[in-house]
Structure 1
Amino acid sequence: MQLTAKTVEHLPDDAAARTQILAHIDRVAGQIAATKVFVEQFGGSALKLVVLPEYLFTSFPGRIGVAAFSARAAFDVGGPEYERLGRHAQRLGLFIAGNAYENDRHFPGLYFQTSFVVDPAGDVVLRYRRLNSMYAVTPHDVWSKYLDIYGRDGVFPVADTGIGRIAAIASEEILYPEIARTLALRGAEVFVHSSSEIGSPMLTHKAIARRARAIENIAYVVSANTAGIDDPLLPLASADGNSAIVHYDGHVLAESNSGETMTAFADLDLAALRRARRKPGMKNYLSRQRLELFAETYAGSVQPADSLIDEGAVRQPDREHFKRVQATVIERLDKAGLI
C-alpha cells in the first residue's frame, strides 16, 4: 500500500507525537480494511499480506537528535504502537508488514530502524533491524554487543509463516545484494520491502535492484513506497510512486502510479517458486552459488564495526558521526589505491 508518511518533528511535545502516531495507525487500518474488500472482490483471492511503506507513522528524523527522536517517535518492543497494529491485524485476519524506528532496552537513548511483520494472531513474528544506513544507528555500529545479545538469527531473521517464508529488506538496502542473498540462503521466499524513495517513469536504482534481487534469489519482492511525506518543510510528493510487486523471474506483476493507492496487488504463487528452486538449470542461480570463492574478499570490512563503542561502552552519536565515518573510509580506500 502506497500511503503518506506523517512527520512528528513539528508537533509541540512527545505526547502529541504519540497521539498522532496511534491515530495514524487507526487511519491506515481503515484503509487496509477497505482495500481488503476491493482486492478480494476484484481479483477473487483472499488478501493475506499487506506491506506498508518505510517510517510511515513518523517520517524520518532529519532535524532532531538521536536521543530526542528515540523519546518522541521510536516504538517500544511490546509497546502501544505494536499492540494497536496487532489488534488491527487480528481483526482483519491478515499479515501486516511495515517499518518503524524502534527502541531497545539494551541500548538506551539509541534506536534502530526496524522492519516488522505482524501475523493474524496479532503477534510480531519478524523483527529485522536495518544494517546499512547513512544517518542512523545500525546493529553494526554496536556490533560486538548486539551479536552477544541477539546472535546471527536475530540479525538475519526469516519468519516461517502460513503464507511462506518471509524476510524484510529496509529501504535502500535493496541496493546491497549481500543482505538479500544471506536471507535467501536462510530460506526466505518473499522479501517485504518498505521504502521511501523518489519515484520516476524511468528505471530508478531501486527499481532495477528490486528486479535483480528477485531474479538472483528466486524470490518475490513486495515493495511499498510512501505516497509523499506530510512535512511542512518538504514538497509533499518528494518520495512518491512506483510501489511494486516483482515476480521471482524479474518481471513486474503490478506497479502503482503516484499518490495514495493500493493498486500494486497480485497473487504470489509459492508452489511455482518452490518448483523453480528445485529444478536444475542455468536459471537456478541460488543453487549455483560458490560462496567459498568470495570468503576472503568478505572476511574484512569496508565500513568498520562498533563505531559507537568506546572501551566497551556505547556512546551517543550526533548526526554528523555517520558522515565522518564514511569520509574516513573513503580516505582509507583512496590511500590504499582501491578506489
Structure 2
Amino acid sequence: MSEYLVAQDGSYETVPLKKDDIMVMAVQSRVVPVKVENAVQMKRDNLNHMLDLIDAAATWMGPKDLIQFHEFPITGFSFMWTREDLQKVAIEIPGVETEAVAARAKRYGCYIVFGSYAIDPDWPEHILSITTIIGPDGSIVDKHWKLRNIKGVFAGFEVITTTIFDVLDQYTEMYGRDAVIPVTRTDIGNLATTATQYEPELIRAYALKGAEIMLRSATSGADPIDVRAGAMHNNMYTTLVNNSISHNPGPFFEDVRSGGTAIYGPKGEELDIANSVNETGVMARIPIASFRKTRRLPRIHPSLYGDLYDQYQEAYPPNLMSTDLPNDGFSAAKFLKDKSRWG
C-alpha cells in the first residue's frame, strides 16, 4: 500500500475484476426489534426471514453479484434498549448469524452486505453498529464500523452505540489510519458502506479513497437529494437501502418513513427505485469495467479551503466514549449535556 491515503495522480488502488458487468440488488425489508426476554428466538426468526429474502433476491430476474440489506435486518432497532439489553440483542461477528448468511452467499456465489448491532471481545461493554461484507466463498471479507452518530438532535435522547468518532484515537491505534475511512477492494469493484446521512464530506472521503460503489443504508428514511448529490459529485454508483413498512411489536408505528430504496448512477441518475413501502428489491446492472477505465478521483481544490477545515471544531469532540459508556439513551443525553463546544 502507498504511503499516501489518497493517490497523488488521480488514480486509486484496485484489484482485477472477475467480470465486466455486475448485477446489484438492494433489498427493502422490515425492521422488527427483538424482545430482550426472547432475543435468541426472535433473532433466529428475523434471520430466517432475511435468508428467505436472500433466496428471493438471488433468484428473481437472474443471478446477482451483490445483495444489500439495511442496518438492522436481524436485531431490529429500539430506542428503549439499555446497554445490558443490547449485549443480549447484538450479534457476534463471526457468529451463528454470519455463518447462516455466509452459506447463502456461497450457495449463490454473490456478495451479501448487511448491518447489525454487534459485540466484540476487543471492545468489552461497547455496542457497535457494524456493516459486514460476506464474499461469494462464504468468508467475511470486511467489517465496517459506523463512522459517527449524530449528537444533540433528539430531545433528551442520544444513540449509545460506539462509532469510530467516539473512540477515534484508540481505534486508529488498533487498526491504523487507513481503516478510519475503509474501502474494500473486491473483484466486483471497490466497495464502501455507510449508514450516515447529511454529511457530504464523508461520502467525498470514500471517493478520495477510491470507492466506486457506495453502499448506503438507513432506518426510517434518508433524503434522496443527499444520496443523489453524493453519487453525482463523486462520480460513484450509489445505493440507498431503507426499511419497508414493518408490523412491529411494541410502541412503534408500522410506517416510519419507510420505502425509497434506490440505486443511482454516477451522474445521480435513478437506475431503479422501490415503487411502494412494502418489502421489495430494486436492482441495476453496473458496467464496472468500462466505468473504471476512465474514472479518476474527484477534481477538488482544497488549497482554497483546506485551512478552513483545519480550523473547524466539531460541535462534540471525538473520543467521548473512550472511558464513559452511558447505560441508555436518556443517560447518554445527560452525559453529553455539557460536552458541546458550541454551547
TM-score norm. by structure 2 comes to 0.82
Q: Which runs of 5+ in 2 are unaligned?
A: 1-26, 151-158
* Pairing of 1:102-141 with structure 2 (within 5 A): 102-134=118-150, 135-136=159-160, 137-141=162-166
Shift of 1:118: 0.8
Shift of 1:326: 6.0
* Pairing of 1:239-318 with structure 2 (within 5 A): 239-278=257-296, 286-299=297-310, 300-302=312-314, 303-309=316-322, 313=323, 315-318=325-328
Larger RCO (CA under 8 A, 6+ residues apart):
2
Shift of 1:175: 1.5
TM-score norm. by structure 1 comes to 0.83
- For 2:6, the equivalent position in structure 1 comes to none
Comparing 319-328 and 49-58, the one that deviates more: 319-328
Establish whether residue 86 from structure 1 lines up as the match of residue 102 from structure 2.
Answer: yes
Query: Which of 147, 168, 177 in structure 1 is aligned with 2:193?
Result: 168
Q: Is the 8 A contact 1:160 1:166 kept in 2?
A: yes
- For 2:216, the equivalent position in structure 1 comes to 193
Higher helix share: 1
Establish whether residue 218 from structure 1 lines up as the match of residue 235 from structure 2.
Answer: yes
Specify the code of the residue in structure 2 equivalent to 1:185: L
Alpha-carbon distance in 2 for matches of 1:5, 1:54 = 9
Comparing 295-304 and 80-89, the one that deviates more: 295-304
CA RMSD of aligned residues (A): 2.2
Q: Is the 8 A contact 2:245 2:279 kept in 1?
A: no
Q: 1:35 to 1:255 in 2, by over 3 A?
A: same
Count of paired positions: 305
Shift of 1:239: 3.5
Q: Is the 8 A contact 2:57 2:281 kept in 1?
A: no
Alpha-carbon distance in 2 for matches of 1:145, 1:193 = 26
SS in 2 for 1:238: coil
Shift of 1:325: 6.5
Query: Which of 28, 31, 48 in structure 2 is aligned with 1:26?
Result: 48
Q: Which runs of 5+ in 1 are unaligned?
A: 41-45, 199-204, 279-285, 335-339
Shift of 1:82: 1.3
- For 1:337, the equivalent position in structure 2 comes to none
Q: Is the 8 A contact 2:326 2:332 kept in 1?
A: no
Alpha-carbon distance in 2 for matches of 1:236, 1:94 = 31
Establish whether residue 319 from structure 1 lines up as the match of residue 326 from structure 2.
Answer: no
Q: 1:4 to 1:323 in 2, by over 3 A?
A: same
Q: Residue deviations 1:234-267, cap 9 Å, x none?
A: 1212141110001110011100033433341111
Shift of 1:60: 1.6
- For 1:202, the equivalent position in structure 2 comes to none
Shift of 1:226: 0.6
Specify the code of the residue in structure 2 equivalent to 1:31: L
Identical positions, percent: 25
Specify the code of the residue in structure 1 equivalent to 2:244: A
Query: Which of 52, 73, 96 in structure 1 is aligned with 2:89?
Result: 73
Shift of 1:164: 0.6
